[in-house]
Amino acid sequence: MKGILKIYHPEETMKYFIKSTYCKAVYINAQNFLEVEIITDDSLDHVDDDSLQYNFPQLSLDIIDFPVATSELSGQTFLVEDTEEDVYTEVDLFDDEEAFLFDNELKFDTNESGDLQLYWTGNITDFYTGAKDPIPFKLKCHFRPDEIEIDD
């Protein structure tokens, strides 16, 4: 498991396990841009059948082309907010529903193993019940490369 996403809905806390992570500071035309992709696992073994999460077993949260001042992410905190002109965040619910992210704070550090870690807090559209108020979420994950074992 690469991490965990918790969405704090008023009716219940949804818990998503992270399946894959991607993070990179890209240098284009003398400017650094942050790219982050977090994809949750679609396993529902830990979810009750009547849970709100059951209708949304998998999510993808993305930060796309967000301008940053440095390519060194460890120790940095970024506040990411979309505007009418610039959209940096994206949520994929893997169905026809839409959701949006607000008040995103991304904190990067390095764990004792030397892996880059991300603590991401913010708010997300209530796509579970359609209520108008966004709901808070917290995400913690690491960006350790997967070790691929090849059998002879």
Residue 79 in any domain: the answer is yes
pLDDT (0 to 100) of residue 117: 95
Q: What is the mean pLDDT of the chain?
A: 89
Please tell me the least confidently modeled range out of 22-26, 27-31, 61-65, 136-140. Answer: 27-31
CA angle (97, 100, 102) in 5-degree steps: 160
pLDDT (0 to 100) of residue 57: 82
The mean per-residue pLDDT over the stretch 70-80 comes to 92
Instruction: Please check the confidence at residue 149 and state whether its pLDDT lies above 90.
Output: no
Cα–Cα distance measured from residue 22 to residue 24, given in angstroms and rounded to the nearest whole number: 7
Please count the other Cβ atoms lying within 10 Å of the Cβ belonging to residue 11.
11
Burial class (CB in 10 A: 0-12, 13-18, 19+), 1: exposed
Count of structural domains, the chain: 1
Residue 44 in any domain: the answer is yes
Going by pLDDT thresholds of 50, 70 and 90, the confidence category of residue 1 is low
Give this prediction's pTM: 0.88
The percentage of the chain sitting over the pLDDT mark of 90, rounded to a whole number, equals: 59
Q: Domain limits at 130?
A: 3-142
Residue 148 in any domain: the answer is no
Please count the other Cβ atoms lying within 10 Å of the Cβ belonging to residue 16.
26
Residue 55 DSSP code: G
Residue 98 in any domain: the answer is yes
pLDDT (0 to 100) of residue 110: 94
Residue 95 in any domain: the answer is yes
